[in-house]
Amino acid sequence: MKKGLVCSLTNELADFTGTCENYVEDPELKAKVHESNISEDVGHHRDGALIFLIIGLLSIGTSLLYYFATGAVFFAIGLSTTQIFEAAYTLQTGGLDVISTAVSVFIASVFLIIWYFARKGSKLAFILGIVFYSIDTILMLLTFSLLGSAIHIIALGLMIRGYRSMVALKKKYPMGY
């Protein structure tokens, strides 16, 4: 039968209010936990920013492959915006040209710029990237690509986790981490 919180020092039910007079804080353990939390937040921040780089590079690669291979290429994590633009342009003109490919590469390159600033701790870059990719996710959902939609949603989750970790780090360490 469970009775409540049991003290690991006395093996008795906790009978104090507020703090226990027997508790002694271990500064080494506290420092290790603190370092572990910082490492985790830094990792999440970097991972969230890295997603922008991956999206940008895959989208640029997809656009160049589509242009040079003159065939439909689809990467689920790439930008549906560029893929929809390229498909519509191809239907309208019969194929891609250098200008339309440059437009797609430019759109994808925005995510490389967002990555550069997001990894340096820019809140604005993270927010813009999340907003842009949210719009792209909605477009992906409208294409009924289950794999693409699932990957977009996972990538968005990683971006948001990265943003939240970065904000937490900035709050703890306003002078930098």
Q: Is the pLDDT assigned to residue 29 strictly greater than 60?
A: no
Compute the distance between CA of residue 162 and CA of residue 64 in angstroms, rounded to an integer.
Answer: 29
> What pLDDT, on a 0 to 100 scale, did the predictor assign at position 108?
95
Compute the distance between CA of residue 79 and CA of residue 127 in angstroms, rounded to an integer.
Answer: 17
Confidence of residue 156 (pLDDT cuts 50, 70, 90): very high
Compute the distance between CA of residue 24 and CA of residue 19 in angstroms, rounded to an integer.
Answer: 11
The DSSP result for 1-69, as a single string, is: ---S-B-TTT-SB---SSS-TT----HHHHHHHHHHHHHHHHHHHHHHHHHHHHHHHHHHHHHHHHHHH
Compute the distance between CA of residue 177 and CA of residue 157 in angstroms, rounded to an integer.
Answer: 23
Beta bridge partners of 6: 13
Residue-wise pLDDT for 142-153, tens only, equals: 988 899 899 999
Compute the distance between CA of residue 164 and CA of residue 158 in angstroms, rounded to an integer.
Answer: 10
Residue-wise pLDDT for 82-137, tens only, equals: 888 888 888 899 888 889 899 999 999 999 999 999 999 999 999 999 999 999 99
Please give the biggest Cα pair distance in the chain. 80
Which of 80, 83, 71 has its CA nearest to residue 137?
A: 80
Residue-wise pLDDT for 34-78, tens only, equals: 565 677 888 888 999 999 999 999 999 988 888 887 666 666 667
- Domain residue limits, the chain: 41-172
